[in-house]
Structure 1
Amino acid sequence: MDDLSGAPLADFDAALPLSPLGPRAWASQADKRYWNAIGPWGGWTAALLLKAVLAEADHNGTPVAMTINLMGGLDETAPLALMTRPARQGRSMEFWTSELIQNDASAAMAMVTLGHRRDTLTAHEAEFPQVAPPESLNPPERRAGLAFGAMFESRYLPGAIPFQSEGGSTETFTWVRDAQARPLDYPLLAALADVFAPRVFYRSAERRPVSTVSMTVYFHATPQELAAVGGDFVLAQARARRFEAGFFDQAGTLWSRDGLLLATTEQLCWFK
C-alpha cells in the first residue's frame, strides 16, 4: 500500500508501512529511524494515523483537520495494528477515527476530518515572517541526538536558545524539509507539525522530561499548493503561551517559501 508505481520509496514512506489485516484494519511496525528519546517521534505517529485513513478506498475529500491523543508508549519490536472507522460520511465533510494499537492496548487515537475544497472567498490574514532564506543559513553541525532529527534537513534562524535561561521568548523559526527532499503531502505535513522542540526547553535551563499529550493540526493547503512546494523547505514557527502545573501549550505555523500558510498546529504537553 506504499507505492504502486514501483518507484523507490523515500525513507519517510518506507517508515510508514501499511498491510491489510481485514476490513478497516492495517498492520504496521515502528521504525527506529524516527525514534524520539524513549519511543517513536510524535510526528511519525500522526503521519501513520492519517495515512491509514487515506488508505481506505472509500474515503472522500482531503484532510482539513486532525486531533491526535497520544496515550501510551510503543515497543520497537511488537507489531502495530491500526483500526479506522468512518464516524460520519457526508457530501461535503467526513469524520474518521484512526486508532493505533499494540499488545491489545490503545497507544494513540486521532479524529481526522476530510473536506471537499471548493472555490470560495479567499483571504490571507496571517502575516508571513520576514526571515532570511534557507540558502543564506549554514547547515547545523551534525551531532549525536534524537534519531528522527537526522531524517530532516534543518536551517535554524537566530532566536531563542534551548537550556540557556529561565525567561524570555520561546519563539523560534526554522527552515525544514525531508532529508531526501521528498515532495510534501498531507502525511508529511502532519509530521512536520510536530517538528518543533518542546517549548519548555526554551523556557528553563533545566532539562526536564516532557511528552506531547494532544496535538491538533489544521491543514490549510490544497493538494495543488502542496505539489507546488514539492521538496522545498518549509518555514516552521513555534511559540508557547503558558506553563503551569505540569502542562504547557505550544502553537506552530508552517509556511511555504512564498509566504503561503500551509498548516497551523496546537499542542498540549506534559512536563516535570
Structure 2
Amino acid sequence: VNYAGPIADGEFDLRAQPVRTNRSTQHWWVELLQNEQVAATATGVFASRRQTWSSVEARFPEVPQAATLPRYPNVGRAQWTQCYDMRFVQGEMQFSAPAPPPQDSASTLWIRDEPPRPLDFVSLLAISDAFFPRIFVRRPLWTPIGTVSFTTYFHADATTLDAAGDAAVLGVARAHQFRNGYFDQSAEVWAATGALLATSHQIVYYKE
C-alpha cells in the first residue's frame, strides 16, 4: 500500500483491476479514492503454493507466556489501540518514564484482537500494522509522522491460521535507520506454536 495523502474518516471508493493472471498467480492494482482524488494505491500478488523443500531461518524468540505479562494500558492512546490486547516483553512506549530513552527501537509483544476473534488473513494483515511507530519507542517525543509505503507478506495458509484460533500472536518489530525525515520499520508475526505467520516492512515520514 502506498499512501498518496491522508485518508479521512468517512466514505471512500475502491477501484481494483487485474493486471495479469494465470493458473498459479494473480497481480492486482487497486486505488482508494476520496472526493474523487486518489488517496492511496496498492498492489496485491496472490499465488497457489505447491509442496516444496521449506526452511525457516528466522527464530521464534524465547519469551514469557502472554498470560504472565500485564496488559498494556491504552487509556489516552489512539483509538485503534482499543482494538487490541497488547502485552509487552520489551520495547513499549514510555513517554512519561523518567528513565533514559532506549538505545534501540526493538519491541517484542503478545497481541490479539479485542474482543477476541479467530485469526484470519484480514486480522493478520491488521496486526502486522499494529506496531507503534519505531521513532516513539526509540525517542519518547511526540512527532508528526505518516506511513508512506507498507507491505505485508503472508507465510501461512488458512490451515495454519485456523490452528492459531483466537490466541495471542507474538510480534517483533524494529527500525534499521532514522535519517533526514524518514525511517523504516520491519516486523514479524508468530503464532504461539512457533509458526511464522507474516512479515512486514514500511517506510515512514517524520517531521521536525
Q: In structure 1, what is the equivalent of residue 2 of structure 2? A: 69
1:158 and 1:75, CA in 2 relative to 1: closer, same or farther beyond 3 A? closer
Q: Is 2:36 the partner of 1:104?
A: yes
Deviations 1:101-146 (A, max 9, x none): 1100111111001000211112121110100110111223351221
CA distance in 2, matches of 1:92, 1:184: 25
- Number of residue-to-residue matches in the alignment: 204
CA distance in 2, matches of 1:72, 1:238: 25
1:126-145 residue pairs with structure 2 within 5 A? 126-145=58-77
Deviations 1:22-44 (A, max 9, x none): xxxxxxxxxxxxxxxxxxxxxxx
Find the partner of 1:191 among 122, 126, 150: 126
Q: In structure 1, what is the equivalent of residue 117 of structure 2? A: 182
1:88 and 1:234, CA in 2 relative to 1: closer, same or farther beyond 3 A? same
CA distance in 2, matches of 1:252, 1:161: 16
List runs of 5+ in structure 2 lacking aligned partners: none
Q: Is 2:145 the partner of 1:215?
A: no
Find the residue that maps to 1:168 and give its secondary structure.
Answer: coil
TM-score scaled by structure 2? 0.93
Find the partner of 1:93 among 4, 12, 25: 25
Find the partner of 2:87 among 155, 173, 177: 155
CA distance in 2, matches of 1:180, 1:167: 31
Deviations 1:149-183 (A, max 9, x none): 00111111134544464550110111111112111
Kept after mapping to 1: 8 A contact 2:91/2:137: no
List runs of 5+ in structure 1 lacking aligned partners: 1-67
1:1-272 residue pairs with structure 2 within 5 A? 68-77=1-10, 79-159=11-91, 161-163=93-95, 165=100, 168-272=103-207
TM-score scaled by structure 1? 0.72
